[in-house]
């Protein structure tokens, strides 16, 4: 006869153990490090669950009272692991923290380089703000050599497009 206290205790123990196994991934502040740690921890959890499952089958065959609890532990261990990972992802904890990304390239450069409907003012702003560099508080120098080469290249690309 299954005892409810043992079932609840085994369930809590296995789910807590599985959730604690994901802790090294969750506690890493760097998502890259967390992704490197995840696979080895997952493999260890799956190996422990498989070995516990085999032990549970052997114990169930020899000692029927303890076997179901060991099998329950083996089944709930990976569930606790993935539940801990999903809760961490939902709460955006540690390595699962989602940070908004800022575009590295300003939007004006994308419009000038990839769209044909860029206005003359937008192209000039591209030359001074993106290609140029500041020479003082209010002035910018727009590297005439680069502008000539890129202008010729842009004209060649436009000629080949039509």
Query: How far, in Å, CA of 93 to CA of 85, rounded?
Result: 10
pLDDT of residue 122: 73
| Nearest by Cα to 39 from 20, 64, 21 | 21
- Please report, for the chain, the start and end positions of each structural domain, with discontinuous segments joined by +: 4-96, 107-161
- Local mean pLDDT, 10-residue blocks, the chain (162 residues): 81 89 83 82 94 94 87 93 89 74 59 65 70 62 59 64 56
| Nearest by Cα to 88 from 100, 96, 80 | 96
Please name every residue paired with 140 in a beta bridge, in sequence order, or none if there are none.
Answer: 134
């Amino acid at each position: 006869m299954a005892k409810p206290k043992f079932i609840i205790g085994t369930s809590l123990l296995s789910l807590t153990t599985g959730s604690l196994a994901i802790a090294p991934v969750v506690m890493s502040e760097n998502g890259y490090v967390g992704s490197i740690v995840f696979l080895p921890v997952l493999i260890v959890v799956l190996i422990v669950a498989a070995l516990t499952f085999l032990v549970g089958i052997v114990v169930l065959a020899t000692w029927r009272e303890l076997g179901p609890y060991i099998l329950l532990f083996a089944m709930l261990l990976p569930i606790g692991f993935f539940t801990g990972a999903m809760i961490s992802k939902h709460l955006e904890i540690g390595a699962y923290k989602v940070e908004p990304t800022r575009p590295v390239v300003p939007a004006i450069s994308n419009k000038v380089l990839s769209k044909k409907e860029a206005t003359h003012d937008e192209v000039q702003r591209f030359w001074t703000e993106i290609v140029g560099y500041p020479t003082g508080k209010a002035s910018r120098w727009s590297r005439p050599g680069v502008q000539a080469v890129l202008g010729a290249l842009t004209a060649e690309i436009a000629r080949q497009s039509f």
